[in-house]
Each structure stands twice: as structure tokens, then as C-alpha cells.
Amino acid sequence: MSKIENNIVTVLVENNAGVLARVVSLFGRRGYNIESLTVATTKDQNTSYITIVVNGDKEILDQIIKQVSRLEETISVRPLEESRALSRELLLIKLAIDDKTRSAIHEISTIYGATIVDLASNSMIVELTSYTAKIDAFLSIMKKYDIIEICRTGVTALERDSQKLL
């Protein structure tokens, strides 16, 4: 039995109308749940880079790669091994604050390398860009405070040319 885990799949596609819908529909039709999805135009305005995180085993991953490869607009599709990937997410979290919680939230944010990007008398917005596990840990701590809103991007990733960790 294969191990079920989150897999990062990168897809380089021609930047045509509807291509994202066609890629995503392949997942839905086969019952695969997309955990995260980001899309951006590359340095060439005619192509887009899609980063998809999908939960599954090696067999599911292989099936996804085969199906996406068959799309006319697909230029390349490949999995990124976690050890070879540099991945990041962005989190914006708006918290209700008062005189008692303001400094505690600021201190926790500083420890995690997060930045306070907006401060009002009764709320603050904190930004954290990091890897998924660190954002999850930060959110776990922030749950004890009054969260007004959360906005979190999906994973975006590139393959490393080296094994050096930054």
C-alpha cells in the first residue's frame, strides 16, 4: 500500500483562455482534491506556471501527470520532490486587538518573522511568508486570539538547483 501525502505538481502551459479550467477539471472528474493552487504568468507572457498541491499516493500522482500531459496546452508537467523544492505561501491574518493583546500578538509575530502591515485602534493585519508548516504553526498559536479574517495563498514552488537550504 502506497503512502498518502501532499504532492507538489508544476505545470507549464500555454497562456490561453480556459486552460486553468481544463487543468482543474481533470482533478475534479477523477475525484482528486486540490489542496492548493497558484497560477502566474512566466517571464514569457505566452506561458503560465501552475503549482498544484494534491493529496495522494504515487499511483494517483502518476495518473495526474499522465492526464495533465495530454492537454493540448501543456508544455511540461512534473512533480517536485520535497527535498528539491523551495516552496512558500503568503498569509494575511486580521486580528481584533486591545491593550492586553496588542503586544502579545506583536511579540509572537516577531518570533515567527511576520510583519504587522496594518494597525488600527481595534485590529491589526499580520503578514507571514514562509513554508506551509511554519504558517500552520503560526496559525495554531493565533487561534487563541480573536481572528477576524484570514487570507492564505496556495503554495508556490520552484525546483532548487542545489541542496543548500536558505
For the segment 26-72, what is each residue's pLDDT rounded down to a tens digit? 888 888 888 899 999 999 999 999 999 988 888 888 888 999 999 99
Same domain (yes/no): 38, 93:
no
- Return the pLDDT at 56: 80
Residue 137 covered by a domain: yes
Q: Which residues of 114-147 are buried (b: 16+ CB within 10 A; e: fewer)?
A: beeeeeeeeebbbebebebebbeebeeebeeeee
Residue 163 has what pLDDT?
A: 57
Asked if 49 and 110 sit in the same domain, the reply is no
Q: Please, what is the average pLDDT of the chain?
A: 91
- Integer Cα distance of 135 and 114 in angstroms: 10
pLDDT at 81 over 80: yes
Residue 117 bridge partners (DSSP) = none
Q: Is 165 contained in some domain? A: no
Domain end among 24, 55, 80: 80
The fraction of the chain above a pLDDT of 90, given in percent, is 72
The dihedrals phi and psi of 97, each to the nearest 5 degrees, come to -130, 160
Q: Is the pLDDT of residue 164 over 80?
A: no
- Alpha-carbon span 108 to 42, nearest angstrom: 35
Domain boundary among 44, 62, 80: 80
Give the model's pLDDT for residue 90. Answer: 97
DSSP 8-state assignment for residue 98: -
